């Protein structure tokens, strides 16, 4: 195992509003608030078969459950493809399988059989595809025009609190 060096999620996430990121030339990609408006790709994973075997080895089909699960996957897939992040997923088609795996895992996590491992996997996949604040930062994406706006101190994309410190003065309690 290697030691030292940068790893995924090592250290704080990059902040587009920090002076250090500015010095390093870190630029976050602006994603449109209105989301992806293009044609939604076909869901790439095969239909999930929810049939099962009994203790005696008899196969029990659950066609109704399988169809219900497939419907939920289609709903989540359509929802995901209308998010701002989908703009990048469309351009970088290699991400689409990971998005599909997030959809499948999210659908599994909505069932009573979901395990802690399923939920952890869903959260990790959500980070990878940029559906969480940490995932947006890791991918160096921002939704909207936040970095283009001017703040009260006149600096682009920065809040006053990140550029200056408030100086407090200690006052006596009047002898009480």
Q: What is the pTM of this model?
A: 0.71
pLDDT value of position 100:
98
Distance of CA 61 to the CA centre of its chain: 35
Q: Quick one: tokens of 13?
A: 């996430």
Higher pLDDT, 16 or 161: 16
Question: How far from 81 is each of 69, 77, 86, CA to CA, in Å?
Answer: 18, 6, 5
Spatial separation of the C-alpha atoms in residues 20 and 23, rounded to whole Å: 5
What is the rounded CA–CA span in Å between residue 11 and residue 143? Answer: 23
At 12-57, the pLDDT tens digits run 666 666 666 666 667 889 999 999 999 999 999 999 888 888 899 9
Give CA–CA dist 97/110, Å, rounded: 20
pLDDT exceeds cutoff 60 at 156: no
Contacts of 110 (CB under 8 A, 6+ apart): 72
8 Å CB contact between 78 and 103 = no
For 64-92, what is each residue's pLDDT tens digit?
Answer: 988 999 999 999 999 999 999 999 999 99
The alpha-helical segments, DSSP class H, found in the chain are: 19-24, 63-80, 86-91, 96-109, 116-128, 133-138, 160-163
Cβ partners under 8 Å of residue 145, min gap 6:
30, 33
* pLDDT score recorded for residue 51: 80
Higher pLDDT, 167 or 23: 23
Q: What is the pLDDT of residues 96-151, one digit of tens each?
A: 999 999 999 999 999 999 999 999 999 999 999 999 999 999 999 999 865 444 44
């Amino acid at each position: 195992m290697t030691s030292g060096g940068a790893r995924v999620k090592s250290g704080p996430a990059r902040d587009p509003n920090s002076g250090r990121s500015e010095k390093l030339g870190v630029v976050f990609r602006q994603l449109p608030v209105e989301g992806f408006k293009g044609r939604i790709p076909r869901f790439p994973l095969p239909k999930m078969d929810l049939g099962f075997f009994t203790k005696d080895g008899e196969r029990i089909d659950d066609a109704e459950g399988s169809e219900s699960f497939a419907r939920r996957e289609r709903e989540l897939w359509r929802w995901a493809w209308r998010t701002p992040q989908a703009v990048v997923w469309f351009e970088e088609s290699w991400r689409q399988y990971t998005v599909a795996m997030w959809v499948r895992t999210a659908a599994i996590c909505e069932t009573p059989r979901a395990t802690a491992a399923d939920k952890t996997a869903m959260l990790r996949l959500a980070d990878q595809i940029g559906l969480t604040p940490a995932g947006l930062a890791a991918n160096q994406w921002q939704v909207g025009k936040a970095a283009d706006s001017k703040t009260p101190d006149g600096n682009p994309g920065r809040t006053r609190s990140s550029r200056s410190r408030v100086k407090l003065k200690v006052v006596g309690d009047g002898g009480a």
